[in-house]
Amino acid sequence: MRTKILGIGSLVLMIVALYMILLFAPTEATMGIYQRIFYFHLPSALLSYASAFLVFIASFAFLTSRELEWDRFAACSAELGVLFTSTTLVTGMIWAKPIWGIWWTWDARLTLEFVLWLIFVAYFMLRAYLPDREKRAKLSAVFGLLGMVDVPINYMSIRLWRTQHPQPVVAGGGLDPDMAKTLTVSLIAFAVLFAYLLDRRLAVAKVEEEVDYLDRVIAAHE
């Protein structure tokens, strides 16, 4: 029931968000139509932070409890971290090309988001090379704590250094009211989508672990 509600809610909210992004929100005076990428880019960036936070919480919970369910939760959250960090980088580059004239620059925020992506990828590389379930969970949890170190520095980067990114607009109240409404709906839509994807991935991961356990039992009796 929960999955169905999240799925339907995600679909409805995404349709509403797309309408507001493409038709309702006014066109920004300086950047024009390219600014609409903002409504995809910012929610993806915030969810990449949320993924790192969930991996951190789950990794810490595993190290204190040794319950493998927390390792499963951390791994599934990290998968979404790869997805939303990749989306952040790609939408950022699509936005940067017509506005800055370049696809990429080693701006502090871009670089730190790329570092976060590398941390998520390295997390799965570590898991891939550790066949033992307990050892993999333990070492992955220790590594999973590192991802959160990047997030506050990443978030504060435009305040700490001179960057290509503009200074905060949302927090400073510089958005047009209709733009603010569109951003709010977009954030909610992406958050519900994130919850739906995480819920489905956790269900699949549980089945995968059960199949893996049965394979090991059968192999032990052959």
Whole-number pLDDT of residue 173 = 56
3-state secondary structure of 54: helix
> Which amino acid, one-letter code, is at 98?
P
- Tell me the per-residue pLDDT of 49-67, one tens digit each, with 9 for 90 and over: 999 999 999 999 999 998 9
Q: pLDDT digits over 84-103, tens only?
A: 999 999 999 998 888 888 88
End-to-end CA distance of the chain: 40
One-character DSSP codes across 58-117: HHHHHHHH--HHHHHHHHHHHHHHHHHHHHHHHHHHHHHHHHHSSS----HHHHHHHHHH
* pLDDT value at 160 more than 80: no
Q: What is the pLDDT of residue 99?
A: 82
The most confident of the ranges 63-67, 76-80, 137-141 is 76-80
- Mean pLDDT computed over every residue of the chain: 87
Using CA atoms, how far apart are residues 65 and 113, in angstroms rounded to an integer? Answer: 31
Please tell me the distance from the alpha carbon of residue 132 to that of residue 129, in angstroms, as a whole number.
9
Indicate the pTM of the whole model: 0.89
* Tally of domains in the chain: 1
Note the pLDDT tens digit of each residue in 15-36.
Answer: 999 999 999 889 888 888 888 9
Read off the tokens for 84.
């939303």
158-162 mean pLDDT = 70
* Segments forming the whole domain that contains residue 63: 2-220
User: Residue 168 has what DSSP assignment?
Assistant: P
> Could you tell me which residues come within 8 angstroms of residue 14 by beta carbon, excluding any fewer than 6 positions away?
189, 193
Q: Tell me how far apart the alpha carbons of residues 193 and 188 are, in angstroms, rounded to a whole number.
A: 9
> What are the distances in angstroms from CA 101 to CA 16, 96, 97, 139, 158?
31, 7, 5, 42, 20
